[in-house]
Amino acid sequence: MTAILEVSGLVAGYGAAPVLHGLDFAVPQGGVATILGANGAGKTTTLRAVSGLIRPAGEIRFAGERIDRLSTEDIARRGIAHVPDGRGTFVHLSVEENLRLGAYTRRDPAGVARDFERVFALFPVLQERRRQQAGTLSGGEQQMLAISRALMLRPRLLLMDEPSFGLAPLIVREIFRIMRAINAEEGVAILLVEQNAGLALELASQAYLLETGRVVVAGSADALGADDAVRRSYLGY
């Protein structure tokens, strides 16, 4: 299986002190990989480095092409959609405007119109609230909007930063169900960062365990989930 995202020797951080000390990981084409780890392990930093929000050292390849020197805008234009921590919705704009922004780089109006239908089918509540200001949505609805906005880009890879954060368990289930559907039916690869290791391992095929900026365990999601030592010392369930 080839990888759509290959990362090797990734070093990144804020200011002088690096947070990440040489990560190697990959996301398979059309697959789901997850990065697990405690608070402060460097999960969010990893995603920010992939989408160019911070300037990394090391090599990042997307569909075979080096992207670690590109700007965030150009990385997005190549088909990587990043749902950041805190969701990053445009709170003063309407739901519909948020979605239109997701498709900002696209030049196929017909395709964009179809994708509106598609995300409204996935999340009917967004259609009901399409004229409403995004800031007035509930947490779960905002997460749905954030995912939908990312889908409007027609991404080949979706970076998800803690989609379960601050949401009720029922809504978390629903969101994970839809992520699975997006992955299975449309072949969008996903790189998922999560605190909720159980859910993440269920969805992912590959898993990486991060500790203070280093990958300490890597392997298939099933193997990681089954390893008692890993479970006890890192995943806490």
Partner 1 sequence: MEAFLHQVLSGLATGGIYAIVALALVMIYQATHLVNFAQGEMAMFSTYLAWTMIDAGLPYWGAFAGTVALSFALGIAIERIVIRPVGNAPVLAVVIVFIGLLVILNSVAGWIYTYTIKSFPSPFPGGSVLGGYLSRHELGVMGVTLGVLLLLFLFFRFTPLGLAMRAAAQNPVSSRLVGIRVGWMLALGWGLAAAIGAVAGMMVAPIVFLDPNMMAGILLYGFAGALLGGIDNPAGAVAGGLAVGVLENLSGAYLVGTELKLTVALVLIVGVLVVRPSGLFGRVLVNRV
- Dihedral angle at the C-alpha atoms of 45, 69, 159, 188, nearest 10 degrees? -160
Should residue 231 be labelled a site residue for partner 1 when binding is judged by CB under 8 A? no
Should residue 137 be labelled a site residue for partner 1 when binding is judged by CB under 8 A? no
What phi and psi, each to the nearest 5 degrees, are found at residue 132? -80, 150
Should residue 71 be labelled a site residue for partner 1 when binding is judged by CB under 8 A? yes
Minimum CB separation of residue 91 from partner 1 in Å reads 8
Cβ closest to partner 1, residue 47 vs residue 221: 47
Residues 149-188 that bind partner 1 (CB under 8 A): 149, 153
Among 44, 45, 51, 142, binds partner 1 (CB under 8 A): 51
Closest CA to 189 of 174, 206, 175: 206
Should residue 53 be labelled a site residue for partner 1 when binding is judged by CB under 8 A? yes
Minimum CB separation of residue 81 from partner 1 in Å reads 7
CB atoms within 10 A of CB 185: 8
Should residue 88 be labelled a site residue for partner 1 when binding is judged by CB under 8 A? yes
Should residue 5 be labelled a site residue for partner 1 when binding is judged by CB under 8 A? no
Contacts of 72 (CB under 8 A, 6+ apart): 51, 52, 53
Closest CA to 116 of 107, 81, 126: 126
Should residue 23 be labelled a site residue for partner 1 when binding is judged by CB under 8 A? no
Cβ closest to partner 1, residue 82 vs residue 129: 82
Element housing 27 (H / E): strand 17-28
Rounded to an integer, what distance in angstroms lies between the CA atom of residue 49 and that of residue 234? 24
Cβ closest to partner 1, residue 51 vs residue 196: 51
CA 130 to chain centre: 24
* Residues lying near partner 1 in the complex (CB under 8 A): 51, 53, 71-73, 76-77, 81-82, 84, 88-93, 97, 100-102, 104-105, 149, 153
